[in-house]
Amino acid sequence: MEQRSIQDLFSLTGKVAVVTGATGVLGGEMAHSLARSGARVAVLGRREEKANRVAGEIEVAGGESLALPADVLDNDQLEDARDALLERWGRVDILVNAAGGNVPEATLSDDVGVFELPEKALRQVMDLNFLGTLLPCQVFGAAMVEGDEEPHGCIVNISSMAASRTLTNVVGYSAAKAAVENFTRWLAVELARSHGPGLRVNAIAPGFFIGEQNRDLLLDEDGSPSQRGQTIIEHTPAGRFGEPDELGGTLIWLCSRAAAFVNGIVVPVDGGFSAFSGV
């Protein structure tokens, strides 16, 4: 590799990125992180008003952004979003699959045990997280390889601690994120072998960050940790929940030239949670 400055190694200037689930807390912050590193960022999410707001915030901060209202489980909407992005910027370099989340009905409770979990809810959480990652990879990944003899691009999927560590109650979400991790490794091998080493696929496994979906689970009404939240903090060597912007450094690294030989891995950003036995 030719000698580059540290700034050049980690710069995303000139790159075009699309972030699914960018209307959520973590996805939105990842979109901002990419923009701050120089990428032009397409904000993809189901909530049109929120997508416009995130894109507007990026523009106000001096970046380039495009709102793409779309559902990651609707191929037609994804293809329309891809076409709009290509019409605007002509290329796709980076895909971040941040869409996902749990389905409450696919979670154990005092009234619902493992034998009573409804099939419909389990299918919903699997579709949202696994198919909601796979389908954007197909649609936007095709744009990465089209018309380029030596395609270059980077896909970053978002996993979870639930994929590799047994977390009580969240059986459907855990299985879905485990599928995302397996698919990440599989796709990394497939794209590199079929289209060359310029296409890379990795994943980030966040620890515990406060988002819209888990706020009531991890925090009490007064903002202090709930019983489950406190248990998580006690098992996190950093002794706290993560801050959304703390995912940005890992994301930028994986998308940059600095990670040109990094492929098929899952990076935990978890304050040490996955390293601690609890003893």
Q: What is the pLDDT of residues 251-270, one digit of tens each?
A: 999 999 999 999 999 999 99
Q: What is the pLDDT of residue 150?
A: 84
Residue 41's closest CA among 50, 54, 60, 25? 54
Structure tokens at 102: 């749990």
Q: Which amino acid is at 217?
A: L
Structure tokens at 224: 């202090």
Strand order in the sheet with 266-269: 65-69, 40-45, 16-20, 94-97, 153-158, 199-206, 266-269
Q: What is the pLDDT of residue 5?
A: 83
Q: What is the pLDDT of residue 1?
A: 45
Q: What is the DSSP string of 52-102?
A: HHHHHHHHHTT--EEEEE--TT-HHHHHHHHHHHHHHHS---EEEE-----
Tokens 């949670």 -> residue = 273
| Domain residue extents for the chain | 6-275
CA gap 177, 101 in Å, rounded: 9
CATH number 3.40.50.720 is the correct assignment for the domain at 6-275: yes
Q: Which residues of the chain have pLDDT under 70?
A: 1-4, 148
- List the catalytic residues: 173
CA gap 52, 115 in Å, rounded: 42
Structure tokens at 274: 């996955």
